[in-house]
Structure 1
């Protein structure tokens, strides 16, 4: 496959991934959304279906990595780093586009949510600790969770370990389940199995950090959150942002090593 096919495929696929994954987070979080408060099950299955849809769309062009950790693991497995930059560039651009489309699709809901005094604080808000106060303490605004992940308990070692562990599980599933004929991405059966693995990771390991397990999935939307003209949006929590980038990359490298030792 050509570099242009890789870049286009990863851009389109990652945009769809973030549109549908971020979309379910918006649907569950925002005021005036019919799915508000649908809960963690809706989010985990929404992300799983997002992976499935994005893989089927982009696989013919790029092999559907859609995740810098997947690209790194495949490069280590095959000892071929020639296309890593092209994959990563498409993935980051796609994540930026997908996150922007979530904002467009939920534009009215974002405005209603971020102008509600009970949510962002101000006169008339509850006397107890408000979301605005929490944002000042953590650096995370009230809708940042729609765009990127954040920990329930801030512990650098635990948070990093959680992202590494979750990513190792994901990448081992990718490497062992139905790679396509060229060995450079997921085949049809592998796409289905891996989407279910993403649901499993979310249900079992998503509680501590929100399971980024994908650097582009977290970094691209976090950049969009920082740039969008959202009222009362609060901070983008850049002090935490390195963990969902570095953790999955470490996890991808470890998984590739395990695969080469145990399965190759």
Structure 2
């Protein structure tokens, strides 16, 4: 079935919002003061992000392709696997979805934002932070993680093994993201997705939250540029070798 661009954009908007609500919601549950899940640990965050990608994939994979990630959209387009005419609309839908999703996280956790005095914990529920304040380390982490994400996502959804069972393929994407966050999440978060980092960071800079501190714009280009570069290379590698 072929869906209109407007329908596909709605899927990208809602899918990205769900990803941010479940993913950053898990971070807020662990890092903000006084929540039921405070100090719940990195496994809880990994589960949140895994489900945050898996659920939209199962809902929208057959409608918009469930990109919910500018790095994926741009990587496909550069390699001739997605029409350039749809790129800007997709990116706008993804950014707006991430912005609205983060606003919902803040609404739900507002009392706990007010109770939290650590600015890093507050910012960490919006966007990524390199644990060693190293942009080089952050770039390497985001690049490798996104390369694995997009290369594996293409492999899973286009593999002959899943040719007649794309539902299972999209289910597997959740386990892929969960594992990436568990295995490579220590240095930066990670973002693996420009919209998931930039849109919430913009919202962080706008909201008058108590004790929020700065939005770390000096680092902000890393989780945007690194995933896009990795997405282009991952799509090129998969296309060149396996398509």
Residue in structure 2 matched with residue 183 of structure 1 by the alignment: none
Residue in structure 2 matched with residue 127 of structure 1 by the alignment: none
Residue in structure 2 matched with residue 91 of structure 1 by the alignment: 94
TM-score (norm. length: structure 2): 0.91
Q: Distance in 2 between matches of 1:256 and 1:226?
A: 33
Distance 1:75 1:187, change over 3 A: farther
Which of 180, 195, 199 is 1:201 aligned to? 180
Residue in structure 1 matched with residue 228 of structure 2 by the alignment: 249
The CA RMSD over aligned residues, in Å, is 1.7
Residue in structure 1 matched with residue 199 of structure 2 by the alignment: 220
The structure with the larger Rg is 1
Q: Distance in 1 between matches of 2:158 and 2:9?
A: 19
Q: Distance in 2 between matches of 1:163 and 1:105?
A: 28
Residue in structure 1 matched with residue 38 of structure 2 by the alignment: 36
Q: Are 1:77 and 1:259, in contact at CA under 8 Å, matched by a contact in 2?
A: no
* Alignment partner of 1:107 is 2:110: yes
Q: 5+ unaligned residues in a row in structure 2: which ranges?
A: 160-164
Q: CA deviation at 1:78?
A: 3.0
TM-score (norm. length: structure 1): 0.84
Q: CA deviation at 1:55?
A: 1.8
Distance 1:250 1:57, change over 3 A: same
Structural mapping, 1:1-264, within 5 Å: 1-79=3-81, 80-113=83-116, 119=117, 131=118, 141-179=120-158, 187-264=166-243
Q: CA deviation at 1:142?
A: 3.9
Q: Distance in 2 between matches of 1:203 and 1:32?
A: 24
Residue in structure 2 matched with residue 128 of structure 1 by the alignment: none
Q: Are 2:61 and 2:170, in contact at CA under 8 Å, matched by a contact in 1?
A: no
